[in-house]
Structure formats: C-alpha cells, structure tokens
Amino acid sequence: MSSNTGALLDVDFLVVGGGLAGLTVAFVLAESGHRVRVIEKRGLGVPAGGIRVPPNVSKLLAQWVPREELLRIGTLCAGTPLRHLEDGEHVGFLHWKADIMRELGGDFLLMHHEDLHRLLYTLATSAGVRVDFNTEVVAVHQGTEQVPNPSVSLLNGEVVTADFLIGADGPRSIVRKAVLGREDNAEPSFLTVYTTTIPGEKMREDPEMRRWLDSDDWPIWMGNNRSICAHPVRGHKDFGLHIYSWEGDVDPLAGEETWEDLVPVDTLDYSTHAPIVQKLLSFAPHLIRTRLMRRPEYEDDSSDEGSRWSDHTSRIVLIGESAHPWQPGGTHPVSIALEDAALFGTLFSRLTSWSQLPSFLAAYQELREERCAVVKASDIKNARMVAMPLGPGRDARDVDMRKSSADEWDEGTTKENFEEMAWVFGYVATDEADEWWVNWGRYSQEARGGEKHTSFSWQMVSMMSEPATTVTHDLPY
C-alpha cells in the first residue's frame, strides 16, 4: 500500500464514473488526504471480458497490493501464438519473456475486467472513498466566478456539489459535454467488437479445451477483416475472448458504444473459422457487442475543442476514455486509463493552493496527451494488421511474422523492438508526475507570489527521454 503524502489542501472531489479509471483516481486522491465520492450508474459484477495488464500497469498495482494478490487474479502471459483464423495454421509466436518483463519493471498479466474492478473498489473504499453504485448523473453544472464549485444532478433528484469534479464516465461521457460546451460528435466507425467469457467448468470437460484453458498464452487468430484474441482469466478458471469485426464483415451500423448490448452467439457467422475457434464459441453463453465510434475533432490536432481535457473554470477535468475514447477490446485502454488516474492523483497529492489548479491541469494534459495519442494509434494499427484481407499485403505480413518469431530478443535484430517496448512498458505514471514536480511544479509555486501562473510544458525538460513522436513505426505487439 502506498504511503499517505498528506495533501496540505483538503479538497472534496466528486468522481463521475466508478470504472477502472474512476476508482483508481479516487484511491490515489484519498490516500493523499483528499475527500472523495464516486458516483457510478452501474454496479459490480456487470458483464465484461478479459483484459491485458502489461508491466506499465502491473507495477503501479504492485505499489498498492502485494504481487501475490495480482497473481491470484491474473495469469503471467508467456507469449502470443499467431494463427490464421480460417484454418488455424501457425504463423508466428511472440514471446513475452519473464526476464524481459522484469527488466521493464513488472509482469504482463492476463485478467478479467471484473476482478481488477473489484480489486480497485476494495482499495478505494479501504482508503475512505464513498462509492455510490446504481446512481445515475443526468446533468453536470459548472461553477461561477462567485461560486466556483461544480455540481451534478442525479436521476433521483439529488444535487451533489464538490470542490472539484472528475469525469471518468467513459467514451459516452456526460461530463465531457460540460467541458466542451456542446454535445459529443460521435459517428459509427469501422469496427464492431464482440466479447465473451467462456465458463471454465465447461471447457474442462473437453480435453482439447482444457489445454487452452490451462495455457499461459494469449493466442490471436488472424482472418479476413476479422480477428480473434483469447486468453485464460481468473487464474485459469475461465476463458476470455474478443472478436474484432471490421468494415465489410458485418452490418456497418451494428452495435452501439456500450458494454450493455448482449446478443446471441449465432449473431455472427463463424462457420468458416478454424475448428478450434468454432468449438470455443460453441461454449460461449452470449456475446457483448460494442462499437468503436469516431470523433473527428479528437483526431484533428488543429482543433482546440477536441483536445481540451479540463473546462475554463479549472474545476472539471476528464480522465481515461472520457478524455480520449479508445478502441474497445484493445491491448492498452486499461493501462492508459490507469496511467491517467495515477498521474493525476499523484499531481494533486501536492495541492496546497487553489492557484495551483491551472498549472496542475496543464501539466496533467501535457504529460499524458502525446503518449495517449501514439499508443492509441499503434493499438488500432496493430488490430488492423491482424485482420488484413486476403492478398499480397497479408502474405508479406505472414512472412515478416515468421521471420520475427524466429529471432531471439537478445540479438541485435530485435534491439529496436525492445526499445519500443521499453517506451511503452517501462513507463511509470507516478514517477512522471513526481519528476514534473521536481523540475517545474515546485519552482512555479515558489515563483507564483500572487502573480498569474505560467504553464511550464514538460516538453521543455532537457533531461526528458526521447519524445514519443519518434516512435513512428509499428510497436511489437
């Protein structure tokens, strides 16, 4: 458990959204002495699927709970077998070697979303956070110059006021509307994701299925405008599976941006898939269907509206997918959301004056925005790569994967891959916040002296590692 740093200015934080990001930021803020209330329209135990927890997040979690607890709910990922979806042909294998992960500071874990959610809920409530589940926010109200405190209206008629409001309510965020000052502009995109959790007791009755359940691998089947990834969850008790259907594969209007749309398994035609995939899906109880939506203003770097993560009052901020909606079922949405929350909470553990708000909010977005954009672009690009249509491009990909899987990571040919992985997996969000404070935050506090604060950009820090924009090629996962 992390130590209490004791923020000198106690603040009443209200967090809208009690998912992974919301509970994480609530925990970190409460640990530093702030008062925190979380409002979440759903509860614990809602339908969900498997998630990947790479070293950049597992080492954050290991600051708060013993590693043994993480290994109780997670499986150490050994590698990723790459196969053709149509016939199951082996194409390549990406090793997630334990010694490499240790060098990067953490474990690569395979988990179930619900297990991590419950862990973060326990951490938050143990730190004194009040969590109101099954409570819906219907309106967000900004403060004024006279009364800067923001507030929210609940479905039950209650109005809740706080010193500071955090929107952690996902891609369809109601808080983002208050920050942007307009309705969210979302339009259907090219990807529909189907998620399921296959009960382990069913799989154990079949010797072939039992082998997959007991494996430490994260297999990916690569098909024509469709891909499937799967892995054990809950310590090999169950098996999580994601299906990614791209443009031309399903009705382009199928699905909404929600994790609450349960559909029958036969919604999809999987009769042309490899026999092992057909058998896996025959064990699935249902599918959760969701959709990747496009928000053009968030993809346009010249749009000031799209890039705002906090409002003009400096009392409302967005974290996680409220700030930067992500590809559903991706490799990195969980890790990026928890990084946001940990970095924001660490910055605000040093809050001593309301006049610090503009600089802290500017630092939060400056430290996070570029990394989020680069990793998100890579996540989507890699997802498209494993769902390439038949043709020369797919053939060239397979040749490259076979060659890459034959190389060892300690050889010179893979040095570049390790450096890219180190940039993603070696990152520690709390250290990033602490370093900003040492280099800029404390000096701006000393220099403020009642004058209007000047924002110090992290891009100015000479001792910073190579900027993220240099990572322009594919990341090795």
Say yes or no to pLDDT of 327 above 70.
yes
Query: Between 24 and 298, where is the model more confident?
Result: 24
Q: Which amino acid is at 176?
A: R
Structure confidence at residue 386 (pLDDT): 94
* Res 420: pLDDT: 72
Region 276-305 average pLDDT: 79
pLDDT of residue 358: 93
What average pLDDT score do residues 105-118 get? 95
* Of residues 204, 203, 213, the one with CA closest to residue 235: 213
Name the token pair of 360: 């802290």
Sort residue 23 into left (φ over 0), alpha (ψ -120 to 50) or beta. Answer: alpha
pLDDT tens by residue, 76-110: 999 999 999 999 999 999 888 888 888 888 999 99
Question: Rounded CA gap, 32 and 404, in Å?
Answer: 45
Q: How far apart are CA 445 and CA 438, in angstroms?
A: 11
Asked whether residue 277 carries a pLDDT value surpassing 70, the answer given is yes
Residues 115, 413: Cα–Cα separation, whole Å: 38
Q: Is 3.50.50.60 the CATH number for 12-65+111-185+297-386+419-470?
A: yes
* Mean pLDDT, all residues of the chain: 86
pLDDT at residue number 292:
87
Residue 458 has pLDDT above 50, yes or no: no
Q: 3-state secondary structure string, 213-256?
A: HHCCECCEEECCCEEEEEEEECCCCEEEEEEEEEECCECCCCCC
Report residue 287 as tokens: 């599918």
Of 52 and 257, the structure prediction assigns the larger pLDDT to 52
Q: How confident is the model at residue 332 (pLDDT cuts 50, 70, 90)?
A: very high
- What pLDDT shows up at residue 6? 54
| pLDDT tens column, 200-259 | 999 999 999 999 999 999 999 999 999 999 999 999 999 999 999 997 666 666 777 888
Give 133-175 pLDDT, tens digit per residue: 999 999 999 999 889 999 999 999 999 999 999 999 999 999 9
SS3 169: coil
pLDDT of 467 > 70? The answer is: no
Q: What is the pLDDT of residue 411?
A: 45
Strands (E), 101-176: 109-112, 130-132, 137-141, 151-154, 159-161, 164-167
Q: What pLDDT score was predicted for residue 418?
A: 62
Query: What tens digit of pLDDT does each residue of 414-432 get?
Result: 455 567 778 889 999 999 9
In the prediction, which pLDDT does 149 show?
96
pLDDT of 135 reads 97
Distance, in Å, from the CA atom of 78 to the CA atom of 218, rounded to the nearest integer, reads 8
